[in-house]
Amino acid sequence: MEKQILILDALGLGLFCVTGAVKASEYGLGFVPAALMGMVTAVGGGMMRDVLAGRVPVISKEELYATSALAGAAIAVAVHESGANQWFYGLAVSLCIGWRVLALKRGWKAPLPPGIDRF
């Protein structure tokens, strides 16, 4: 059942990073702040889920989580600012989901700073 939960988590990560980034861009934030807000929106939701479930938050591990959310959010802001068709938001969602799922399947890990214990 863990695989299905991780796939649904990747789907939620993609949707929330794009939604947060587009909303931030609509409120007048620039490219970088809007992309960061999209990432924070997505990662924050995942952290709340993990805390409520009594688990160590995924962001605290060495998994590629925030990186894929930032990439999806950056593309969403670029699409929003360019005035392109809204269907291109699907590209941002797909990039985030695809990157996250690929990282899970291939075991890609992000380096942790020195002094941080691995869970």
Domain boundaries, the chain: 2-106
3-state class (DSSP) for residue 65: coil
Lowest mean pLDDT among 23-27, 41-45, 108-112: 108-112
Q: How far apart are CA 80 and CA 47, in angstroms?
A: 27
Q: What stretches of the chain adopt beta strand conformation (E)? A: none
Q: For position 2, what pLDDT does the model report?
A: 79
Mean residue pLDDT of the chain comes to 89
pLDDT in tens, 37-92: 999 999 998 899 889 988 888 887 778 889 999 999 999 999 999 988 888 999 99
Task: Report pTM.
Answer: 0.87
Phi/psi zone of residue 8: left (φ > 0), alpha (ψ -120 to 50 degrees), beta? alpha
Residue type at position 111: P
Strand-pairing partners, residue 109, are 63
What is the pLDDT confidence band of residue 34, given thresholds at 50, 70 and 90? very high
